[in-house]
């Protein structure tokens, strides 16, 4: 059994991780520690607060006692708003606090694109446009080319968690771009475990969601790099053995 821990802000789509456990075939456990969140607004001030060092270190210290093999900071916005170097520093603090391998959802998107060799992406974001543009800047710093970005403009994580699956499908599909090699859906408040396969079938290309890449990244850090036929999406079927991490050792 492989155990990967997740630092998850507030409460919205945490049950998505149980869905991933089931989809991965029962040999993976994905325990969560909820980090503090004063409110779940998708605004810069709140996302910076969510990703603050004190919250991350406290959560990491809790998860260190849970016998996990790796830890992921599972909040896309609370990472990329700090920029590439700031996100790397977050990961380093989590690694120091847990004493084991660590990463974040934002970094996981980049590593997934490296593994799949897909440098051009479209973004279908649930966030307001100001926050979506921060994700574009983060990806650009990491060498990813964003050919289009769409913002759903949803104000809170709670609203994202209650989106109807058909609405999510429609939003992502309608915001694909012909030049994009993958579509990124960057919000861990979004339930996505059971949407990846239908989205990829409808679009005919890779779809990467926040909770999906978080789980994949955690397994990669835990040494589970083999392709997984039971994993959702092209990403899990590709495995992660060929990834060269951009994070500090």
What CATH number is given to the structural domain containing 172? 3.40.50.12500
End-to-end CA distance of the chain: 25
How crowded is residue 32: how many other Cβ atoms within 10 Å of its Cβ?
18
Statement to judge: residues 79 and 158 lie in one domain: no
Say if 92 falls within a structural domain.
Answer: yes
- Looking at residue 38, its pLDDT comes to 63
Statement to judge: residues 200 and 229 lie in one domain: no
Among all chains, which residue has been given the structure tokens 């759903």? Answer: 152
Inter-residue contact 124 to 175 (CB < 8 Å) = yes
Say if 58 falls within a structural domain.
Answer: yes
- Looking at residue 142, its pLDDT comes to 92
Residues 11-28 pLDDT 10s: 889 999 999 999 998 899
Number of domains in the chain: 2
Here the tokens at position 86 are: 């700031």
How crowded is residue 128: how many other Cβ atoms within 10 Å of its Cβ?
17
Statement to judge: residues 24 and 51 lie in one domain: yes
Statement to judge: residues 16 and 100 lie in one domain: yes
CA dist 163 → 113, 152, 170 (Å)? 26, 11, 11
3-state secondary structure (DSSP) of residue 50 = helix
Helical H segments across 162-209, by residue range: 165-174, 196-203
Where does residue 21 rank: exposed (0-12), middle (13-18), buried (19+ CB within 10 A)? middle
Residues 63-75 pLDDT 10s: 999 999 999 999 9
Statement to judge: residues 31 and 92 lie in one domain: yes
Stated length of the chain: 249
Structure pTM? 0.95
Say if 247 falls within a structural domain.
Answer: no
206 bridge partner residues = 182
Statement to judge: residues 98 and 125 lie in one domain: no
Tens-binned pLDDT, residue by residue, of the chain (249 aa): 999 999 999 888 999 999 999 999 889 999 999 987 765 667 777 777 777 888 899 999 999 999 999 999 999 999 999 999 999 999 999 999 999 999 999 999 999 999 999 999 999 999 899 999 999 999 999 999 999 999 998 877 788 889 999 999 999 999 999 999 999 999 999 999 999 999 999 999 999 999 999 999 999 999 999 998 888 999 999 999 878 776 655
Statement to judge: residues 69 and 186 lie in one domain: no
Say if 222 falls within a structural domain.
Answer: yes
Query: What does the alpha-carbon distance between residue 218 and residue 121 come to, in Å, rounded to a whole number?
Result: 22
3-state secondary structure (DSSP) of residue 153 = coil
Inter-residue contact 21 to 47 (CB < 8 Å) = no
Answer left, alpha or beta for residue 117, where phi above 0 means left and psi between -120 and 50 means alpha.
left
Statement to judge: residues 103 and 216 lie in one domain: yes
- Looking at residue 243, its pLDDT comes to 81
Statement to judge: residues 76 and 132 lie in one domain: no
Identify the domain containing residue 178 by its residue range: 117-209
Statement to judge: residues 157 and 227 lie in one domain: no
Say if 81 falls within a structural domain.
Answer: yes
Q: What stretch of H or E contains 22?
A: helix 16-23
Say if 245 falls within a structural domain.
Answer: no
- Looking at residue 245, its pLDDT comes to 74
Inter-residue contact 153 to 130 (CB < 8 Å) = no
Say if 162 falls within a structural domain.
Answer: yes
Statement to judge: residues 174 and 104 lie in one domain: no
Statement to judge: residues 67 and 135 lie in one domain: no
Say if 244 falls within a structural domain.
Answer: no
- Looking at residue 40, its pLDDT comes to 61
């Amino acid at each position: 059994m492989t155990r990967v821990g997740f630092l998850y802000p507030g409460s919205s789509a945490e049950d998505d991780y149980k869905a991933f456990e089931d989809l991965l075939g029962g040999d993976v456990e994905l325990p969560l520690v909820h980090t503090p969140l004063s409110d779940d607004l998708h605004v810069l001030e709140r996302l910076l607060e969510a990703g603050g060092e004190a919250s991350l270190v406290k959560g990491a210290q809790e998860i260190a006692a849970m016998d996990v093999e790796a830890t992921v900071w599972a909040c896309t916005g609370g990472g990329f708003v700090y920029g590439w170097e700031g996100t790397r520093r977050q990961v380093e603090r989590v690694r120091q606090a847990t004493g084991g391998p660590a990463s974040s959802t934002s970094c996981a998107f980049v590593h997934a694109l490296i593994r799949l060799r897909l440098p051009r992406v479209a973004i279908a974001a649930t966030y307001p446009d100001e926050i979506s543009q921060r994700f574009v800047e983060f990806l650009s710093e990491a060498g990813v080319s964003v050919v289009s970005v769409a913002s759903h403009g949803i104000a809170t994580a709670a609203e994202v968690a209650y989106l109807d699956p058909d609405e999510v499908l429609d939003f992502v599909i309608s915001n694909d771009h012909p030049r994009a090699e993958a579509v990124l859906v960057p919000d861990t408040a979004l339930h996505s475990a059971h949407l990846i396969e239908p989205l990829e079938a409808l679009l005919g290309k890779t779809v990467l969601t926040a909770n999906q890449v978080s789980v994949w990244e955690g397994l990669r850090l835990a040494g589970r790099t083999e392709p997984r036929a039971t994993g959702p999406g092209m990403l899990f079927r590709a495995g992660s053995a060929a990834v060269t991490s951009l994070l500090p050792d």
